[in-house]
Amino acid sequence: MRLPIFVFLVSLSVLGTQTATRLAAQECDCHLHEHHSHEDLSFQQEYPYQHEYPFQQRYAAQPPVFEPAPYEDDHASLIDHGDCCSDKFDPLDTLMLFFGLEGSKQPQDFGANAHFGGRLSANIGLPLSRELGLGVQIGTAINYTDNAVQVFERVLEAKARSQSFTTFGLFQRHDSGIVWALAWDHLYQSYYHKNHLNQIRGQFGYQFSETNELGLRFAASHDSDRAVFNVFGAVPFPVMLEPLSQGSVYWRHIWESQAETTFWVGVAESHGQRNVAFEAAFGLPPQQPSGHDVLFGAEIHVPLNDHWALFGQGNFVTPAYTGTVDSYLGFAFYPGGGARRARHKKFAPVLPVANSSSMTIDLR
């Protein structure tokens, strides 16, 4: 638990570097075009001593040429801070802070529970090799949810769940259009038991146009952990928890409004279908695991202005009654601005911080 909190605080401390990095950027030779209004132009064209020259002589010379200034509106934020100073890197340009709502139901809920609560996260990308376009991402998140049904509380088990996710990864946005990422996800959770779980997650895609990307995404379990579910504090049910391996094909599209949508469909390995209510109340044996099941999901990123965007993700493993129903939705804040291009900057993280929608926990 200490490591994710430490990473979260470090990410927030990046905000303190804003003044220094902005001053450093000013050292670059980036000259802005001079902008003048029509009134200024007409005034400057007039010779100051008008009474000494005839009217025709005052306007005989060609008027000065002024290069038009960049159009200043919200689309100006599409230009990265480092566009004119490519050798300068501002950490704020790749930092994303998120807060929102979280809902989840997975096999680890023993067939009798679901969750609803809140989520806080921070995710940042840093250049590892500018020549190769290789970057490293560090992210952390904290979820706190209450039980959405009463079964666990009625049998005197957990009333809430806290989760801490940590993501470390490498990524690359190559000039050829290839985009890939590989990350290590760690989960510490306090539920009906305290558990540490790990998985490897990755993505490989190709940007075949300015607005479309196709590719593969996957999550592979690395380990498992034992847990005990207690009914009325007297009847223990030993179980095994493990991340659920899964793979899918995705399509990402950027709309004219700069909103971004991603859809995927794929297959997950078999998952447990145990139900504590049936096993405890009726003494029934555990139900056999499912076969390989279809999964599908989506992700949205909708810029609201230069600093804020609506962000969310959902992932669903069939069948719904024993599989997963995981989603979250909230607001992403970009301290460095440029929310409309935040996910396309050279060293912005490719993968979101792990969550229930990308790290499904199975129960056997």
Residues 240 and 103 in one domain: yes
pLDDT of residue 314: 98
Residues 53 and 193 in one domain: no
Residues 120 and 60 in one domain: no
Element (H, E) at 246: strand 246-254
Tokens standing for 87?
Answer: 């050798």
pLDDT tops 70 at residue 286:
yes
Please report whether residue 115 resides in a domain.
yes
Residues 103 and 57 in one domain: no
Beta-carbon-side half-sphere exposure of residue 341 (alpha carbons within 13 Å): 18
Residues 65 and 100 in one domain: no
Please report whether residue 45 resides in a domain.
yes
Q: 246-278, pLDDT tens digit by residue?
A: 999 999 999 999 999 999 999 999 999 999 988
Please report whether residue 23 resides in a domain.
no
Please report whether residue 24 resides in a domain.
no
Q: Which residues contact 299 (CB under 8 A, 6 or more apart)?
A: 261, 262, 312, 313, 314, 352
Please report whether residue 76 resides in a domain.
no
pLDDT of residue 160: 95
Q: In terms of residue numbers, what domain contains 260?
A: 92-363
- How far is 25 from 82, CA to CA, in rounded Å? 8
Count Cβ atoms within 10 A of the Cβ of residue 248 and give its class: 0-12 exposed, 13-18 middle, 19 or more buried.
Answer: buried
Neighbouring-strand partners of residue 97:
122, 333
Residues 210 and 138 in one domain: yes
Residues 191 and 302 in one domain: yes
Q: 221-247, pLDDT tens digit by residue?
A: 999 999 999 999 888 999 999 999 999
Neighbouring-strand partners of residue 310:
302, 331
Answer with the residue of higher pLDDT: 76 or 159.
159
Residue linked to tokens 């995927």: 264
Residues 55 and 104 in one domain: no
Number of domains in the chain: 2
- How far is 72 from 66, CA to CA, in rounded Å? 17
pLDDT of residue 119: 98
pLDDT tops 60 at residue 86:
no
pLDDT tops 60 at residue 47:
no
Residues 231 and 101 in one domain: yes
Q: 144-168, pLDDT tens digit by residue?
A: 999 999 999 888 899 999 999 999 9
Please report whether residue 21 resides in a domain.
no
Residues 135 and 220 in one domain: yes
Asked if the peptide bond before residue 352 counts as cis, ω within 30 degrees of 0, the response is no
Answer with the residue of higher pLDDT: 25 or 131.
131
pLDDT of residue 224: 94
pLDDT band at residue 87 using 50, 70 and 90 as cut-offs: low
Residues 118 and 54 in one domain: no
- How far is 154 from 47, CA to CA, in rounded Å? 89
Residues 50 and 182 in one domain: no
Q: Which residues contact 65 (CB under 8 A, 6 or more apart)?
A: none
pLDDT tops 60 at residue 50:
no
| 101-128 average pLDDT score | 96
Please report whether residue 20 resides in a domain.
no
Helices (DSSP H) in 69-200: which residue ranges?
A: 151-154
